[in-house]
Every structure is written in C-alpha cells, then in structure tokens.
Structure 1
Amino acid sequence: MITVDFTLFPVGPGNRVLDLGCGGGRHAFEAYRRGADVVAFDQNENDLASVSAMFAAMRAEGEAPASATAETVRGDALAMPFEDGSFDRVIAAEIMEHIPHDTAAMAELHRVLTPGGIAVVTVPSWLPERVCWALSEEYHTNEGGHIRIYTRAELEAKLKATGFRIGPHHHAHALHSPYWWLKCAVGTDNDTHPLVRAYHNLLVWDMMKAPRVTRLAERALNPLIGKSVVVYLRKPRRGGDTG
C-alpha cells in the first residue's frame, strides 16, 4: 500500500533515497523498482531482515534495474549514521507520530538531505486518528503506539521551523479509516471479529483488483477521511533559496 504519490516525488536512477523508519519496506521497494539507490533504515531488526530478503528476491527476479542498489541499515532516527547531505530524497512515512522528540527527528531528516533535495513526510490525519483515540485507549497507549495527533498546520509549522520549504499536500487511504475504527471499537487485537474480517477482505480485494468504483470512492473521500496526510518538502540550496 503506497502512500506517497511518486508523480509529486520523482525518484529514479541516480537518486540516493533514504526510507526513514521503513517498517515493512513498501516505499523502499517502490523506489528500488524505479531504479534509485535505496537505504531502508529502521530500529527493528526483524523488519530489516524481511526487507533485506525482499531486496534480494527483487534482484534475483530482475524487478529493479541492474544499476540500482538497495541495502538496510539499523539505527536511531535521532542520530542517523550518515554524513550531512547524503541523500537526494528522504521518505518518512508514518513515523513521526511514534517519536517523542519529533522535532529532533525532523532536524536529522533535514541534515541528511542534500541542499535542493526533496522529502516527503506522512502521518495519520487528524480526524480519523481522533476517532481511533476516542474509541480505544489501547490504540494509542500500547508500546510503540502513536503518541500524538497532528493537524496538518502543526506538522507543516514544525517542518518549516526545521528549515524546509513546504510544498503540496494530499490525503490518502480513506477506505482504510473505517477499518481502523472497527478495530478500535471491537479491540485492536481482535482480527477474527466478523465485521473486521469482512472489511479486511474488502480492502484486500480493492488492493488486488483496484476496481473503478472503489478508486473513485476513495478519491472523493480522501479529503474528508483520508487515513494519512502527505506533505512534500524541499531543502533550500542556500538560506531561503528554493532553487
């Protein structure tokens, strides 16, 4: 499930891309398919092992250009083991809401991005997330869970204060919001509840088949209940210069 719109975040051969907090690697895989040199970065050793195995499988099947590279690196988002300006592109998808010192993580993101480079940050949208918090305390108090709810204005203000120039934004995954509301209502670990299972099957069908009716419905609903808000950024080359 890709959250980033790669028409707004162009990636290809010659780009060095960092997927910060890569998790299962969905965006790292897409960047690799597009021919970029990818570093998937996370604290979770198990996630990184799975991502590394998928990179190897993609190489073996020829799913990425032979010139592209892909690797995993384990570390802390607040102290990344990379030189200043190491990456042309940085993706930070659904990670800032987990980090107590989010502004420090944003400063690290800014540091490792080359001047003139672009970044994209995604977080849960305010309204769908607020409903989840209201329905379930477990949703946001479990270890590693979400510790804050961003408004887009707050997220953009923090990123701007870090030094980024703010670009376009959009919302994504509206059809996933009701799924999480159901999960929060019946118990976040209750994957066997009939309503949860039925809606999960609907989402899988939608992802596999991408029928026109659900794609149009999600596009219409995204501005209202999109599960994620996506903000595109640029690091100025000099001071306030955006060139």
Structure 2
Amino acid sequence: MSKPDFGLVDKVALVTGASRGIGQALAMGLAAAGAKVVCAASRVGGCQETVSKIEQAGGTATELAADLSDASAVVALAEQAQAAFGEIDILVNNGGTIYRSPAVEYPLEAWQNVLQVNLDATFILCQQIGKSMVARQQGKIINIASMLSYSGGITVPAYTASKHAVAGLTKALANEWGQHNVQVNAIAPGYIRTDNTQALQDDPERSTEILKRIPAARWGETADLQGAAVFLASSASNYINGHILAVDGGFLAR
C-alpha cells in the first residue's frame, strides 16, 4: 500500500508577498519540503532575508520584485518567474494590501488599489501561469483568502470584497481547470501573529475578544500555515479542488 506523498522535490513554486510574515513562512515551508522557490516582493531586495533563510536551511530560492497594482508588471513577473527555475508547478498568491476607513469616507483610489493588488493580480498570475499548467496537465494554485472571505469586518470594505472575490475566483478556476489535473484551492488564515495584526494584538479589549473566540486559545503563528500549504501543493491533495481551507484554530467553529 503506497503512502501519501507530501514531498515537493523537483517542483518549482512562486510565492508572492514573500518578504515577511505569512508569505515568508509559506515560502520557507515549501522549500523545506523540497521545492525551489521564487520569492516575490513589491520592492527590489524585499525577499533577501527570505531567500537567505531558505538557503541557510539547505534549500534553493531566488527573488523577484513587482508592483502588484500594475497589471503589466504582474504579467512580467509571471514571465520572469517561469524563467527562473523553469515552469511553475505551484503558485501561491499571497501578496496583498489593506486600507482602513469608514465606508462613507472610503477613497475611491484606495478601493481601486486594494482590488488591483488583492484580486486583479491574483487573477492575472492564475491566468498567466495557469495556462501553462493546463497545457502540461498538472499544477497547484493556492490563493490566500481570509476570515473576511466569510464575514464583513469593519472599516475594510475593499479588503473584504477582494477576499470574498478571491474565494469565488478559486472555485471558478477549479471548475474550469480540474479536468486538466490542475487543483486550485485557497487557505483562509485565522488571526495570525504578524505585523499586519499588531494593532489588534496591542489592543487589550480586542485581543481578549478574539482569543475568547478561538478554541485553540492562542493567536496563530505563521508556521501554523506551512503544513496546509505543503499539503495543498503536494500530490497528497490531488482530489481536493475549489476548497477554502480555514487555518484558524477553530475560530469559525464558534
């Protein structure tokens, strides 16, 4: 009886937003499982630390930079990533941004920027790299959704709209590409301890409210997401498609 294969040796991955936090952890997790990782950031040199950590651990990685709000730059990123180590086997759309403002005052420019970075760039990379996956009849795409793919949040209408859309896009692409042996899934991180959530962590009242709703009784660490990413990137998940996997310590169960 054969055992499930969670290894990623000889696979090439592209991870956006890999300079820090969740993206850095995902890139390191995929590399630890054997993948060669193309780490992308919004600025040149942004992934230097991530690449260094992967190489120090014995892995293989390189870095690229692109402004995800610029569609032409995203297309160029796809081309450059495919030239780095060869065809991309695993695409992780993690790069994103958030803007907080009451809806009645929300600037249209901020709305458009959040949607361009979080949704447009995700679709463009899925399209540009996905067509090669479809042609080769194999590939794994992992989009990063959010707890706000399920609920509305407060003062983050653009972010919430984008993350609901990412969940929907994940299902739409799974419907089209599943027949070509391309699995498109998403991870919805819960409350993870990163600089993006620092304000919530530092707010005693809000942090207490959040912890009360997490059965695991702790904030998540970025490393808690690595297993889910490796699973969805490996052949062990070949019959999983169009799924949004919440890694939230049980937050949604409450």
TM-score by length of 1: 0.55
Instruction: For residue 79 of structure 1, give the secondary structure of its aligned residue in structure 2.
Output: helix
Which whole-Å deviations, capped at 9, do the CAs of 1:9-63 have from their partners, x for residues lacking one? 944222222223434211110121122222112323464133133234xx2xxx3
Residue 100 in structure 1 maps to residue 99 in structure 2: no
Alpha-carbon distance in 2 for matches of 1:91, 1:124:
11
Residue 88 in structure 1 maps to residue 96 in structure 2: no
Q: CA contact under 8 A between 2:220 and 2:248: conserved in structure 1?
A: no
Bigger mean CA offset, 37-46 vs 155-164: 155-164
Alpha-carbon distance in 2 for matches of 1:88, 1:35:
12
Q: CA contact under 8 A between 1:40 and 1:72: conserved in structure 2?
A: yes
Q: CA contact under 8 A between 1:11 and 1:31: conserved in structure 2?
A: no
What is the one-letter code of the residue matched to 1:89?
A: I
Counterpart residue number, 1:73: 64
Counterpart residue number, 2:42: 43
Alpha-carbon distance in 2 for matches of 1:105, 1:168:
13
Counterpart residue number, 1:19: 15
Residue 150 in structure 1 maps to residue 165 in structure 2: yes
Shift of 1:203: 1.3
Instruction: For residue 12 of structure 1, give the secondary structure of its aligned residue in structure 2.
Output: coil
Shift of 1:110: 1.1
Alpha-carbon distance in 1 for matches of 2:35, 2:93:
16
Q: CA RMSD in A?
A: 4.5
Decide which structure has greater strand share.
Answer: 1
Which whole-Å deviations, capped at 9, do the CAs of 1:159-214 have from their partners, x for residues lacking one? 5457865648576545x29x9xxx7xxxx845422134455792168979xxxxxx
Instruction: For residue 203 of structure 1, give the secondary structure of its aligned residue in structure 2.
Output: coil
Unaligned regions of 5+ residues in structure 2, if any?
67-72, 97-114, 212-216, 225-246
Q: CA contact under 8 A between 1:156 and 1:166: conserved in structure 2?
A: no
Counterpart residue number, 1:195: 205
- What is the percent sequence identity of the aligned residues? 10
What is the one-letter code of the residue matched to 2:218?
A: L
> Residue 122 of structure 1 is aligned with which of 134, 139, 143?
143
* Cα distance change on mapping 1:73 and 1:94 into 2, 3 Å: closer
What is the one-letter code of the residue matched to 1:119?
A: K
Counterpart residue number, 1:136: 154
* Cα distance change on mapping 1:128 and 1:8 into 2, 3 Å: farther
Counterpart residue number, 2:130: 110
- Matched residues, number: 187
Counterpart residue number, 2:240: none
Which whole-Å deviations, capped at 9, do the CAs of 1:50-85 have from their partners, x for residues lacking one? 3133234xx2xxx33xxx421111134332224486
